[in-house]
């Protein structure tokens, strides 16, 4: 049987990177897509899909 992993820190990473992406959207819109990789990766890790 698989052991249940704690994903709390990945949820924190997800929300922090989401806030960073939102901030970059307003301040530096031409670079906002750079933070997309961090948001997606943190979300996938938080959902325990990877």
Q: What is the pLDDT of residues 1-50, one digit of tens each?
A: 567 778 899 999 999 999 999 999 999 999 888 999 999 999 999 998 87
> What's residue 19's pLDDT?
95
> What's residue 1's pLDDT?
54
Task: Decide if 42 contacts 17 (C-beta within 8 A).
Answer: yes
Distance of alpha carbon 27 from alpha carbon 3, whole angstroms: 42
Q: 13 phi and psi, to 5 degrees?
A: -60, -40
> What's residue 7's pLDDT?
84
């Amino acid at each position: 049987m698989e052991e249940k992993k704690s994903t709390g820190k990945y949820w924190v990473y997800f929300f922090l990177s989401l806030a960073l992406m939102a901030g970059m959207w307003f301040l530096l819109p031409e670079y906002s897509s750079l933070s997309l990789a961090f948001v997606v990766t943190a979300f996938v890790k938080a959902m325990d899909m990877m």
